[in-house]
Amino acid sequence: MKSKVYTLTGDKGTTSLVGGTRVSKDDVRVEAYGTVDELNAHLGMLALHCPDDMPQQAMLLRKIQNKLFNIGAYLATENTAEDAPVYGLKEEDVAQIEQMIDLMDEALPPFRGFILPGGSTFSAQCDICRTVTRRAERRIITLCNKVPVSQLVLRCLNRLSDFFFVLARFNNVTHDFDEIYWDKNA
């Protein structure tokens, strides 16, 4: 028998953490994993528009989506510990993101100033992912002030924001879209 999508248990503004504890839907933990979920939704849109000539990046985007689900599940679990493993997330995952950043960055010209979001639709979506990643990171840091959280989660998100920034630039440069530099006198 198929279960119903709606349970009615959240109608009064609460939700259950993994483990059963009910908390307010605006609880700091819910804000943290909810923002990671929002990032994953934006990443789904980004992955749909990844250029065909960027298969390595496309594969990494899908892998990151799975890792974000792991991070969300970890954050939704009550009684996390700073040294507790995050199922499905390893140091090698962060290293893979760093390697892709380095690979793409080698093909880019040096910065001439601050770059405005945009250039192309794909790069603009990268910038949305970058800014939502930063917000997720802030929400997780707020959670860290209340309960222990794995530092691997923070490292991963910090690296992801860098990845999205470089991916946006890489796409614009390799596909001949202009990088739009900030004009403080505009």
Tokens, residue 100: 């892709």
Residue-number span of the structural domain to which 108 is assigned: 25-174
Tell me whether residue 30 is in a domain: yes
Which CATH number belongs to the domain containing residue 82 in this structure? 1.20.1200.10
Tokens, residue 95: 């290293």
- Does the CA dihedral 108-109-111-117 come out positive or negative? negative
Tell me whether residue 179 is in a domain: no
Q: Is the pLDDT of residue 7 over 80?
A: no
Tell me whether residue 88 is in a domain: yes
Tell me whether residue 162 is in a domain: yes
Report DSSP letters for 110-160, one per residue.
Answer: PP-S-B-S-SSHHHHHHHHHHHHHHHHHHHHHHHHTTS---HHHHHHHHHH
Tell me whether residue 166 is in a domain: yes
User: How many folded domains does the chain comprise?
Assistant: 1
Tell me whether residue 18 is in a domain: no
pTM for the full predicted model: 0.91
Q: Is the pLDDT of residue 186 over 90?
A: no
Tell me whether residue 20 is in a domain: no
Segment (H or E) for 12: none
How do residues 89-141 score in pLDDT, each as one tens digit?
A: 999 999 999 999 999 999 999 988 899 999 999 999 999 999 999 999 999 99
Tell me whether residue 151 is in a domain: yes
Q: Check residue 23 and give its pLDDT.
A: 72
Distance (Å, rounded) from C-alpha 83 to C-alpha 142? 18
> How many Cβ atoms are within 10 Å of 152's Cβ, its own excluded?
20
Decide which of 40 and 77 is more confident.
Answer: 40
